[in-house]
Amino acid sequence: MSLQSLDIKRRSATTTPPPQVRSPQSGDVAKLIDVSKCIGCKACQTACMEWNDLRQEPGENHGVYDNPNDLTENAWTVMRFTEYENEDSGNLEWLIRKDGCMHCEDPGCLKACPSPGAIVQYTNGIVDFHEENCIGCGYCVTGCPFNVPRISKKDNKAYKCTLCSDRVAVGQEPACVKTCPTGAIVFGTKKAMKDHADERIADLKERGFAQAGLYDPAGVGGTHVMYVLHHADKPGLYAGLPKEPKISPMVALWKGMSKPLAVAALGVAAVGSLFHYITKGPNDVSKELEDEMERKDREALAAADADKENVR
């Protein structure tokens, strides 16, 4: 979404704090997706396309209900369908997870982004891409623990779910939430969503899903998109939802303290060279050698003249 209707808490490739005086007094926001209530109607996908003016070309059928098959720069959310044979209950379970940006509290994309202000996190917790600042390097893809950002082939900019930050900024819920016919997607303050999830989880446990629980992974500081899962002990069942997502240690190393330290070391090398020069002086040719060579030059010249004389 474009600049700037919400206060910014964190800004990519920026080492000084953004304005911080204002903060949402009612707390940050979250979207809660109750997988147990989802009927897989894809109304949320449609609402997302409508509100954001996106049209993904229908892909090919690969034998599953997913359409499109993956997130794209035009499809910021995709229903992922899994047929799970539960051996404990003997049931075939149709697990449907609405995939998209999780809006991590500690966003790997923002950490990796080299372009100032191309990725921001608002004070309400939403992580947003400001494509006008995006340079198309793909570092956000490298940084994301959930494989969410997609680079457009048309403009080489990165796109993903904005959590409808433009709607949220004016007090509306995201488009997918507004359209969901079963109430599987709800939106509010993070605290309210956790309270709501607790009720849902208690209900699911009563219905025999002993492992029901909330997906709000601590490894990325919690997320502003959370799931209620019937099998919270096995999130991988839901089309490979990572069990303990966190920013890859490679990305942490790449974007951590190592870089300022490396810059300092190079600076020391450059300035150290200057001070070496002015303390030790240049590595010059000795006067003795220069004199020797001047003498040899003269001798060579005299010999050449003598040769000419002889020829004549």
Query: Min. distance of Cβ 303 from other proteins in angstroms?
Result: 12
Instruction: At 105, give phi and psi (nearest 5°).
Output: -70, -35
Query: Min. distance of Cβ 138 from other proteins in angstroms?
Result: 4
Alpha carbon 33 to its chain centroid, in Å, reads: 21
Contact positions vs other proteins (CB under 8 A): 13-15, 114-116, 133, 135-139, 141-142, 147, 151, 156, 248, 250-251, 253-254, 258-260, 262-263, 265-266, 269-270, 273, 276-277, 280-286, 289-290, 292-293, 296-297, 300
For residue 241, the one-letter residue type is L
Instruction: Report the residue number, 144 or 180, with the smaller CB distance to other proteins.
Output: 144
Instruction: Report the residue number, 118 or 193, with the smaller CB distance to other proteins.
Output: 118
Query: Min. distance of Cβ 134 from other proteins in angstroms?
Result: 8
- The answer for residues whose C-beta is within 8 angstroms of residue 197's C-beta and 6 or more apart is 32, 34, 214, 226, 228
Query: Min. distance of Cβ 116 from other proteins in angstroms?
Result: 6
Q: Is 30 exposed, middle or buried (0-12, 13-18, 19+ CB in 10 A)?
A: buried
Instruction: Report the residue number, 39 or 293, with the smaller CB distance to other proteins.
Output: 293
Query: Min. distance of Cβ 248 from other proteins in angstroms?
Result: 5
Residue with tokens 């982004």: 113
CB atoms within 10 A of CB 167: 18
Query: Min. distance of Cβ 145 from other proteins in angstroms?
Result: 10
Q: Given the DSSP bridges, would you call strands 29-34 and 225-229 parallel, antiparallel or unpaired?
A: parallel
Q: How many residues does the chain have?
A: 312
C-alpha span between 255 and 113 (Å, rounded) = 9
C-alpha span between 129 and 144 (Å, rounded) = 13
Instruction: Report the residue number, 11 or 190, with the smaller CB distance to other proteins.
Output: 11
Instruction: Report the residue number, 24 or 138, with the smaller CB distance to other proteins.
Output: 138
Instruction: Report the residue number, 40 or 138, with the smaller CB distance to other proteins.
Output: 138
